[in-house]
Amino acid sequence: MKLKGILPFARILLEQALKPGDTAVDATAGNGHDSCYLAKLVGTTGHVYSFDVQEQAIESTRERLRSQELLDRVSLHQTGHEHAVDHIQPAHVSSLKAAIFNLGYLPGGDKQITTQAQTTIKAITRLFEVMPSEAVIVLVIYHGHPEGAVEKDDVLHFVEQLPQDKAHVLRYGFINQKNAPPFIVAIEKR
The answer to whether residues 25 and 49 touch, using CB atoms and an 8 Å cutoff, is yes
Per the domain annotation, does 149 fall within a domain? yes
Residue 182 belongs to a domain with what CATH number?
Answer: 3.40.50.150
Domain membership flag for residue 1 = no
d(CA 190, CA 176): 31
Judge whether 139 lies within some domain: yes
The per-residue pLDDT for 112 is 85
Distance CA 57, CA 47 (A): 19
Residue 49 lies in a domain: yes
- Per-residue pLDDT reduced to its tens digit, 25-51: 999 999 999 999 999 999 999 999 999
Query: Dihedral (C-alpha) 86, 92, 93, 97: value to the nearest 10 degrees?
Result: -120
Q: How far apart, in whole angstroms, are the C-alpha atoms of residue 177 and residue 175?
A: 6
Q: What is the dihedral of CA 26, 31, 35, 38, to 10 degrees?
A: -100
Q: Supply φ then ψ for residue 121, to 5 degrees.
A: -65, -40
Q: What are phi and psi of 53, to 5 degrees?
A: -80, -20
Query: Range of 174's domain?
Result: 6-189
Residue-wise pLDDT for 8-30, tens only, equals 999 999 999 999 999 999 999 99
Please tell me the predicted confidence (pLDDT) of residue 106: 78
Residue 109 lies in a domain: yes
State how many domains the chain has.
1
d(C-alpha 130, C-alpha 5), whole Å? 30
Residue 66 lies in a domain: yes
Whether pTM > 0.95 for this model: the answer is yes
